[in-house]
Structure 1
Amino acid sequence: MGYLRNAWYVGALSREVNEQPLGRVILDESLVFFRAADGSPVAVADRCPHRFVPLSLGKVKHGELECGYHGLRFGRDGICIANPHGNNAIPRGANLRHYPALERYGFIWIWTGDIERADESRMPVFPFLDSPDQFTAVHGYLPVAGNYQLVVDNLLDLSHVEFLHPMFSQAEGVAGHRTEFFQDGDVVVANRWKPNVPLQGLAGHMFWTSPSTRSDARSNMRWSAPGYLNFDLGATEVGATVEEGICLPNAHLVTPETEFKSHYFWSIARNRLLDDEAMSARLHDVVDRIFRTEDGPIIEAQQRSMGLTSDLMSLHPVTLDPDIPAMRARRILARRIEEEHQASGRKDLGRASAVA
């Protein structure tokens, strides 16, 4: 099916892009990230036009990217600005593809489609990542050897929590969930309410201070194309309002690497113990461990079982009620990609790689 090109994708954590160039494959394209002299992020093609050496093997000097093989130097717009050889003339065609890049919410975002259509208003909104007086957030990244839609499927179907994640499971199992699935335009919503249940999960194990042993818990997910997920996670005293309780909002941002590999970026915020650095480190480690040792391996095993097929639906899987949100998201994304193909008239737009 390919990719939605005219969209913002997370390419890196902010902290990953520093004084050294960072190479990363995004939508089957090799990119290199670095920072300009003013600290703003830059993303260009990771291949020197001289001898095709990856520029991510080079250096950043005064906000400019220098090839580590023969020293050609490139500016933030991908144009070659220095040639140390001969009469120092700039060779014709010595330019790189440039990707619009922004830094927001602790991530570096890039626009992978037509540059003239890059529009900041099309970025997803995560207010809790921009409200330091109300929330403290930690960020993480994990490469996954599986198609990006499998990662999205996993996040939209949280019934798997009762079977895959011991820390979050409850005695009643999925029978203790009150589910609500619906579609609002091109947004898919999958809500799970867990009323009056024994304490469990991150809220119950890490932030609960009440003598009460039961809570009203929730795990509500909102998806929008191509892979933005806003996760409202939390717990309150039984019968209390959401605002009174523990709020642990999440951002889950899934970026295709290739047809069979994905970049999974995440952030989780909290409205408790905002200045506790030890709690930040603990929260990061717990969330990272859960996905690295539980979700990630199961998705990678799923992809291996599918072999050289990246489209789950082409294998005609048995479907269950919890699959409804993911199936809706897949249909929306397929339509959006097809609409983009038709609008562009380019037969190769969004073409996926044929190899892992």
Structure 2
Amino acid sequence: MSYLRNCWYMAAWSDELGEKGLSRTLLEQPVFLFRDEEGTPKALFDRCPHRFAPLSMGDVAQGVVTCRYHGLAFDGAGGCVRNPHGPVTRALAVTAFPVIEAHRALWIWMGDPALADPAALRDLSFLSQAPDTAFNKGYIAASGHYQLFIDNILDLSHTDYLHPDTLGGGSITRTRAKVEQREDGIIAIRWDSYDDVPPPLVRGKLPPGVERADSWTHVEWSAPGIMKLINGVVPAGSPREGSGTSTNVHIMTPETARTTHYFFASTRDYTVEDAQLNAAIGEIRNRIFSTEDEPMIAAQQARMGEADFWSLKPALLRIDEGAVAVRRRLEALIAAEHAA
């Protein structure tokens, strides 16, 4: 399967990386993530060049990974630093991937390492700037092609049917999305609903007795699978300024052609010191994504089987405009990368 490679993929949340490191398959390649003696994250192809044992089964000490099978040791750059059985040769080297740590997460570059520019990482600093009491996150090892999960966020009309008791309510279905393709590579989709029934999950933000609301959800996608969502709600006809908004991310990293690493997080700019509210928001989000979204997309993938999405000739609707735009953009980026 073809992937966009010269870009930053989220590999893990920072706190997932413990003392023993973390083994994770990314873009169908086994990768071992660990920290060196200074705490800097490193990433190696998770296979010893000698007899192909997983390096992740070995030991990490002082920034060196020692293969448990025959004792060869490798540093964070992939070089062999110890061969108990003879000289260190050029064949005893492991591919190392550029890694940076930012926005409470670890990001890996799976393409040409010479092109790995930290400045190319999308600015998600709102994640690290949020206090712990206004930040919650999650991770799902999900079944389904990563683009199916991207589609799911780019067409939020599904919330009215898959999540009617929490995120839905009908207002998004009754609102026509506006899709904008920006010069910075971001595709933005806006749902602005006026004087409609608010979704159940946000009714607590409205004054008692308010039954009609103006609500908005704006999604910004950037390659390969990073989506920033901003949403809010006010009583119908009220100004939005100062009303308090939630800013969220949904980040999809391919594991294989049919499985996805699904990372998500939520922040807010209101009642930021309310740890109890934060925990409740995190619990609800984790439950919704793991028990409603993921099973639906897993079932969708099962019905598709091994077939390519376009080969099945999907009967596209107006609500698919944003998702189709993103699929076409990603296809063009992959084709251009291959051509280069």
- Which interval holds the TM-score relative to the shorter structure? over 0.9
Give the corresponding residue for 1:190.
Answer: 189
Query: Are the structure 2 counterparts of residues 212 and 100 from structure 1 closer, same or farther at C-alpha, using a change threshold of 3 Å?
Result: farther
- Equivalent residue pairs, number: 337
Residue deviations 1:34-64 (CA, integer Å, cap 9, x gap): 1111111111100011211111112211222
Residue number in structure 2 paired with 1:210: 207
Superposed CA offset, 1:53-86 (max 9, x none)? 1111122112222212222221111111123x24
Note if 1:119 corresponds to 2:122. no
Alignment of 1:243-262 (within 5 A): 243-262=241-260
Q: Bigger CA drift: 277-286 or 154-163?
A: 277-286
**Aligned-pair Cα RMSD in Å:** 2.0
Question: How far apart in 2 are the matches of 1:134 and 1:92?
Answer: 46
For 2:325, the equivalent position in structure 1 comes to 328
Letter in 1 for 2:188: V
Percent identity among equivalent residues?
36
Please list, as runs of the form range in 1=range in 2, the aligned pairs for 1:48-197 lying within 5 A after superposition: 48-83=48-83, 85-86=84-85, 89-132=87-130, 136-166=134-164, 167-170=166-169, 174-175=173-174, 177-185=175-183, 186-197=185-196
Q: Which amino acid aligns with 1:169?
A: G
Structure 1's unaligned 5+ residue stretches are 344-356
Q: TM-score, normalised by structure 1?
A: 0.89
Partner letter of residue 122 of structure 2?
P
**Residue in 2 that maps onto 1:2:** 2
Q: Secondary structure at the match of 1:244?
A: coil
**CA distance in 1: counterparts of 2:172 and 2:18, whole angstroms:** 45
- Normalising by structure 2, we get a TM-score of 0.93
Q: Distance in 1 between matches of 2:17 and 2:132?
A: 27
- Which portions of structure 1, spanning 4 or more consecutive aligned residues, are displaced by more than 4 angstroms? none
1:94 and 1:172, CA in 2 relative to 1: closer, same or farther beyond 3 A? Answer: closer
1:326 is displaced (CA, Å) by: 0.6
| Contact 1:6/1:114, CA 8 A, preserved across alignment | yes
Cα gap change, 1:158 to 1:19, in 2 (>3 Å): same
CA contact (8 A) 2:140 2:262 kept: yes
Q: Which amino acid aligns with 1:192?
A: W
Structure 1 residue 182 displacement after superposition: 2.4
- Checking the alignment, whether the CA contact within 8 Å between 1:237 and 1:245 is kept in structure 2 is no
Distance 1:240 1:120 in 2: 41
**CA–CA separation in structure 2 for the residues paired with 1:210 and 1:101:** 46
